[in-house]
Amino acid sequence: MSALYMIVGLLVALGVLVTFHEFGHFWVARRCGVKVLRFSVGFGAPLVRWHDRHGTEFVVAAIPLGGYVKMLDEREGDVPSDQLDFAFNRKPVFQRIAIVAAGPVANFLLAILFFWVLAMLGSQQIKPVIGSVVADSPAALGGLAAGQEVVAIDGEAVDGWNGVSLQLVRRLGETGELSVSVLEPGSSVPVAHQVRINAWLKNADSPDPIGGLGIQPWRPALAPVIAELDDKGPAKAAGLKVGDRLLSVDGHAVDDWQQVVEKVRARPEEKIALGFERDGQRQEVALTLAAKGEGKARTGYLGAGVAGGQWPAEMLREVSYGPVAAVGQALSRTWSMSLLTLDSLKKMVLGQLSVKNLSGPITIAKVAGASAQSGVGDFLHFLAYLSISLGVLNLLPIPVLDGGHLLFYLIEWARGRPLSERVQAWGMQIGISLVVGVMLLALVNDLSRL
């Protein structure tokens, strides 16, 4: 992936989401009669600055990892007596709650907007037809089999494999029965199968929910003819060329690329023998596979790829909505993703999910670049998901975050007076420690993925 896509994708994503978040605070503060001194996108030295007719300074700063809205406040400096009515701390508690909550709410509204646009643009979905089921896997034990089309997970309808994956993610780390409704080939009547899961993928660093059930999605057969080579991969080093057709791996015949992939992934840093055909001549070469990933995610790597196959028209479906129906879809998806984000955080705290699933700026940059490179639709999806994450995280009741301030103001409303400055200062110190600790953990996870 181009480093340029990563940089531009990250800057655009952070710029849009941070600006919209801070604009939420700014807009409501103005409506509540609070004087805004500065609206900054980014931290550090200002790159661009200007003032509006109300005296607010707008700044684009050098470090694009956040932003802030600075309001007139007696706790942060002297306020002239003639401007006390415009100070944030002098406003009624409900107005302060509204101002603080406006940032996360703006992120949710932005996600709804993106999902609304995506719902109207529509997408092409691959029918979730099972290609094969691993023997003795949870799916096999639950009665799932090749040829069945998945139509619902736990009662929630799905259109394609993305929907299946999203519904399965909700059950990560859990123990119990997973309901999978399928259509048998030639039937239009769904049949529900109960799949037993036990602490499902609890310790997985990068969980694959579909593969974790033992399901391989159906896909068109791909002839094992090499179409691309990694210049630094084992295949090229061993002398394989574009156009070579693989015939066997360690003497086992292969006629489909997926068979090669499965055998290679299971043998990191092991020596294998590849039989292949070039210009009508059968040949064999021995090579040592490379390895990718760490721990349980470690897999073998050949450094070769094939051309994509054509999907049959009957395996594809177009999904799109009109302007009104798209609103419902946007609201539903935003709500579902918000709950999923909260549930995932809860599972990490309770130990049901590995904390290695936390991602930091490096992973965000990589995903931003990949989605930007894939097209507008994928990038909008990424922005919507990231906006929801930003909204949910900011609402957590941790001092320093918006949610922590909301907690203090709600306590003030209930008690009729604010907490002492000493208690709030302790809360802030605890909040800073928690936030810094989580950020460091996310950064360590990012570096380990590299």
Domain 228-309 adopts which CATH fold? Pdz3 Domain (2.30.42)
pLDDT 10s digits, 228-286: 999 989 999 999 999 999 999 999 999 889 889 989 988 899 999 999 999 999 999 99
Cα Rg for the chain, rounded, in angstroms?
27
CA dihedral in degrees (342, 387, 24, 40; nearest 10)? 120
The helix (run of H) or strand (run of E) holding residue 219 is: none
Q: Which residues are catalytic?
A: 22
Second-level CATH architecture of 123-219+315-319? Roll (2.30)
Q: How far apart are CA 427 and CA 400, in angstroms?
A: 8
Q: Where in the chain is the domain with CATH 2.30.42.10?
A: 123-219+315-319, 228-309
Q: CA geometry: angle at 276 spanning 270 and 281, to 5°?
A: 145
Model pLDDT for residues 270-317, shown as the tens digit of each residue: 999 999 999 999 999 999 999 886 665 678 999 999 887 788 888 888
Q: Is the pTM here over 0.85, yes or no?
A: no
CA 255, 258, 260, 262 torsion: positive or negative? negative
3-state per-residue secondary structure call for 200-216? CCCCCCCCCHHHHCCEE
Q: How far apart are CA 278 and CA 269, in angstroms?
A: 26
CB-based burial label for 158 (10 Å; 0-12, 13-18, 19+): buried
The b-or-e profile of 6-16 (16+ CB within 10 A means b, else e) is beebbeebbeb
Whether residue 175 contacts residue 199, with contact meaning beta carbons closer than 8 Å, is answered with: yes
Which of these ranges, 172-176, 231-235, 373-377, has the smallest mean pLDDT? Answer: 373-377
Beta-carbon contacts of residue 67 (< 8 Å; ≥ 6 apart):
18, 19, 21, 22, 39, 40, 41, 42, 43
